[in-house]
Chains A and B, each alone.
Chain A
Amino acid sequence: EAGVVQSPRYKIIEKKQPVAFWCNPISGHNTLYWYLQNLGQGPELLIRYENEEAVDDSQLPKDRFSAERLKGVDSTLKIQPAELGDSAVYLCASSKSRGSGELFFGEGSRLTVL
């Protein structure tokens, strides 16, 4: 069974440029998460989807961040424009059922903003 796939693994951009991250969850997993992980810290939830519906986006900075999960499968997280403080690892995770707490994580996308 394929795991959670994220791309790109690494991205270097200059500030004010846009950037997008893509995530393909495990087949059959209805719940999809985007987490932000700053250096030396634990992951912090940005947004959670149940199928194609964003059910928790309270921590997503909506002025510059956006996300979508068309057709309830893969998802894209976008930042526009990027700021220096956005340098971090963006993690995607999926779970088979809501409430299990068992999340399967991708390897992450490391963003560096210069």
Chain B
Amino acid sequence: AQSVTQLGSHVSVSEGALVLLRCNYSSSVPPYLFWYVQYPNQGLQLLLKYTTGATLVKGINGFEAEFKKSETSFHLTKPSAHMSDAAEYFCAVSPYGNKLVFGAGTILRVKS
């Protein structure tokens, strides 16, 4: 079975500061891992994904995440936060990309 834990339901950063959103997963098979973002009044959209190969993956809007098997983690980072990054972020795990299991989400607030 697969599960996801996102540490921190709310994260607040200043504009220009590092963004770090934490995600730990549990999977009985080699996982596919995803980050989705949901802006207010919009549907979820894919930010980035890891399937196989390079463990550092880059996504849209300057975000990246690193798959660390030993730590069962897939944390999302961005070097410099922008006001437009304010949204809710969901980490998800899947066996072979078929059935995504989502975490509870982290709301990112960016202060000016």
- A binding-site residues for B, Cβ under 8 Å: 3-4, 40-45, 48, 56, 91, 93, 98-108
Contact B102 A42 (CB under 8 A): yes
The smallest beta-carbon distance between A90 and chain B, in angstroms, is: 12
- B binding-site residues for A, Cβ under 8 Å: 4, 9, 32, 34, 36, 41-46, 49, 51, 90, 92, 94, 96-105
Contact A48 B104 (CB under 8 A): no
When the two chains form the complex, which single residue of A41, A100, A102 contacts B104, counting CB atoms closer than 8 Å?
Answer: A41
The 29 sampled A-B contact pairs (Cβ below 8 Å) are A4-B43, A41-B105, A42-B92, A42-B104, A42-B105, A43-B44, A43-B102, A44-B102, A48-B98, A48-B99, A91-B44, A98-B97, A98-B98, A99-B96, A99-B97, A99-B98, A100-B97, A101-B32, A101-B34, A101-B92, A101-B98, A102-B46, A102-B49, A103-B36, A103-B44, A105-B36, A105-B43, A105-B45, A107-B41
Report A-chain residues with C-beta under 8 Å of the C-beta of B92: 42, 101
Q: How far is the CA of A91 from the CA of B101 in the complex (A)?
A: 14
